[in-house]
Amino acid sequence: MQISMAVPYDEERLRRTIRFILRPQLKTIRVLGGVLAVLGIALVALDPADPMSYGVVVLGLLFATAIAPITLARSMRLQSPVIKDGCRITLDDEWVTVAYPLAESRFRWAGLDRVIETPEVWYVMFSKIQAATIPKEPMTGEQRREFAAFVDRLPAVGGRSPSRNRR
């Protein structure tokens, strides 16, 4: 397999990628927020005069609703300006190479954890928080089929097969 494509910077795709990577951690925070809010409501019901009870409710609501958007916005602001120039992604039998004008990242398929396919992209996960986003839009139909077939043929990694989940 040898696929190479120019990928323009897409802020919305970057936002979806960050949201995808942070989703497990943010889900835990939302659940914790819900638990705190319910606990706070129970405390208010037991003693409406206790101001700390209201603080627990507010903290729970903050965790449940505001932390995710704040974290996403902060993560977007922390991205290097280098990525705004777009990149060239090259996929071959051994490597995923993402090359920006001022930086380059290479990942061996041998280190792959899993591949998650969505209608717009493939998330090629090398750990729980490290992923390469392979967009489908710049690929031809033949390249998409070739890459999908390649992912299906990948050998087991660390004693397990890299899952190819569809979302």
Query: Across residues 97-107, what is the average pLDDT?
Result: 94
My answer on whether 104 and 64 are in the same domain is: no
Distances (CA, A) of 98 to 12, 24, 57, 75, 80: 18, 25, 45, 20, 14
Distance in angstroms (rounded) separating the CA atoms of residues 142 and 3: 10
CATH assignment at residue 102: 2.30.29
The number of domains in the chain is 2
Please check the confidence at residue 164 and state whether its pLDDT lies above 80.
Answer: no
My answer on whether 90 and 161 are in the same domain is: yes
Q: In 3D, which of 89, 93, 163 has the Cα closest to residue 133?
A: 89
Please check the confidence at residue 135 and state whether its pLDDT lies above 80.
Answer: yes
Distance in angstroms (rounded) separating the CA atoms of residues 110 and 156: 9
For 132-152, give the DSSP string: EEEESTTS-HHHHHHHHHHHH
pLDDT band at 130 (very low <50, low <70, confident <90, very high): confident
Where is the domain boundary, 77, 101, 127?
77
My answer on whether 99 and 157 are in the same domain is: yes
Please check the confidence at residue 166 and state whether its pLDDT lies above 90.
Answer: no
My answer on whether 71 and 92 are in the same domain is: no
Query: Across residues 140-152, what is the average pLDDT?
Result: 93
My answer on whether 33 and 95 are in the same domain is: no
Write out the residue range of the structural domain in which residue 122 sits.
Answer: 2-9+85-166
The pLDDT value recorded for residue 109 is 92
My answer on whether 102 and 155 are in the same domain is: yes
Bridge partners (DSSP) listed for residue 123: 116, 133
Distance in angstroms (rounded) separating the CA atoms of residues 117 and 85: 25
Mean pLDDT for the chain overall: 90
pLDDT, tens digit (0-9, with 9 covering 90-100), for 43-86: 999 999 999 999 999 999 999 999 999 999 999 999 999 899 99
My answer on whether 17 and 72 are in the same domain is: yes
Distance in angstroms (rounded) separating the CA atoms of residues 62 and 26: 12
My answer on whether 89 and 64 are in the same domain is: no
Pairing of strands 163-166, 114-117: parallel
Please check the confidence at residue 160 and state whether its pLDDT lies above 70.
Answer: no
